[in-house]
Amino acid sequence: MKLKTKNFLLINFLLIFIFFSIYFFINIFLEKYYIYEKTKKSINILNELIKDEKKSEILSDSETTINIFEYVDNEDLFNDRLRLGFHDKKLFLVKIWVIQKNIDKIKNGETYIQYYKQPKLKTTTIITIKLYKNKVISVAVSLASMKDTISLFNKFYLFALIITLILSSIGINIYTNNLVNKIQKIKNAAKKISNLNFSEKIKLNTNDELQELSESINSLSKKLEVSINKLKKQINYHEVLNEKQQNFISNAGHELKTPVTIIEGYAHAIKDNIKNDKKRTFYSEIIVEESEKLKDIINTFLDFSSINNDEIIFYHFNIYEVILNVIKKYSLDLEEKNIQINLLIDKGTVVYGNPKKLEQVFDNLLSNALSFTNNVITISTKKQNNKIMFFIFNDGEQIPVEKINDIWTPFYKIKTLKNRKYGGTGLGLSIVAEILKKHNSNFGVNNLNNGVEFYFSLYT
């Protein structure tokens, strides 16, 4: 059963129940209550007259008649005086009679009450009698017939019930339609949330529990959206990470395979007891050379793996000395290839970072420049607010435009005849990128007219 129908039936049932409860209560108890109130009024008037007999004129009204006479201890005389006293005041109680037993009770100070009914006139009179200082004080209170009043009330009440039910039905319909529409909004939003659609926002200005519920659902929707987006990013991150790890392992195995194969081949040759001393020496030198390459490859792998795991400590230091040490490392290569290096940096240049990691950055960038330059490498800086921009330029071939974004990818290599001597694992620029990210650096590469320029920023 729908909420609208339930509300309609429930509220109308409650209205009918209340109406009929009042109806039966009035029909059963109203007349009794009316007689009770009039009796109480009669007794109160009697008590007032005992205090002050002179109030009889004041206390008399259209429904109250007061009769005071001298007490006589005779049933007939007592009733004659009672009837005639009321008769003189236009209250005709022809058949009223107080028996001797009750007269004795009055004599003894009791208050006597008699309900005198006149069926033909459809009236009832309450007679209250009390003896005070040998005077009989009697009060008659006339009661209107309640049956006609109750009958009229019942007809009007039934009419009122019908009108109330019609109006309540209209009101209930309007109210429940409004309520159902609000609940429908909440239902639609909840349904969309269950389908992981968080676009629906509930807007209710009812200042009640429905508004609180809608605000709670909106808050839940927002939190779920944030949590699910985070979860998606984590899943995507782990998927990418797993793919990178698989690629890394595959490429690492490929890089290690060449020197290991060469070492294995020449080691077997020596094992076979080559008698020629020159060949044995030559094979040994090759094994040593490939071992050095293997060591460099392994160290590069370790450097790349440790970037995201090691805690990097940052502090201010002089970057000029770090760059100078890197250049000295390649001084023999620079001299052999007749490469001119221009260091256009202030000797007092101080940056905020990690000297060891930034030395790796300059080492890899300078090694990369050596691989591709014709004969000129320039290292320069430019001040930008609270940062310093570093530029490493080498003349020579440009990077193909379609490959310029791939150079930061692990194991990516651009093959040329010039870079064979310096050709490494393809991790150099990947290491540079990871270190610079840790330093919150803006970095990249540009093709210039006569060469390639790498750039990055460091905080001062």
Closest CA to 394 of 374, 409, 416, 367: 374
Looking at residue 88, what is its pLDDT? 86
pLDDT 10s digits, 299-318: 665 665 556 656 788 999 99
| The last residue of a domain, from among 115, 131, 148 | 148
User: Is residue 280 included in any domain, yes or no?
Assistant: no
DSSP-derived pairing of the beta strands 340-344 and 373-384: parallel
Q: Where is mean pLDDT largest: 96-105, 120-129, 202-211?
A: 96-105
| The last residue of a domain, from among 125, 148, 171 | 148
Residue for token digits 């595959």? Answer: 250
Closest CA to 172 of 6, 20, 22, 17: 6
Mean pLDDT of 153-172: 81
CATH number where 420 lies: 3.30.565.10
Looking at residue 403, what is its pLDDT? 83
User: Is residue 190 included in any domain, yes or no?
Assistant: no
Distance CA(38)–CA(272), nearest Å, equals 139
Mean pLDDT of 229-253: 67
76 band by pLDDT with thresholds 50, 70 and 90: very high
User: Is residue 112 included in any domain, yes or no?
Assistant: yes
pLDDT higher than threshold 50 for residue 417 = no
Helix/strand/coil for 434: helix
420, 423, 426, 432: CA torsion to nearest 10: -130
Closest CA to 139 of 39, 34, 52: 39
What six digits make up the tokens of 418?
């010039």
User: Is residue 124 included in any domain, yes or no?
Assistant: yes
Based on the number of CB atoms within 10 Å of its own CB, is 384 exposed (0-12), middle (13-18) or buried (19 or more)? exposed
Backbone angles phi, psi at 347, to 5 degrees: -65, -20
Distance CA(245)–CA(68), nearest Å, equals 120
CATH number where 138 lies: 3.30.450
User: Is residue 339 included in any domain, yes or no?
Assistant: yes
Count of structural domains within the chain: 2
Distance CA(424)–CA(300), nearest Å, equals 9
DSSP label at residue 61: B
**Residue 15 belongs to domain spanning:** 3-148
| The last residue of a domain, from among 99, 131, 148 | 148
pLDDT 10s digits, 255-278: 555 566 767 666 766 666 665 667
Looking at residue 411, what is its pLDDT? 64
Looking at residue 70, what is its pLDDT? 92
User: Is residue 175 included in any domain, yes or no?
Assistant: no
User: Is residue 441 included in any domain, yes or no?
Assistant: yes
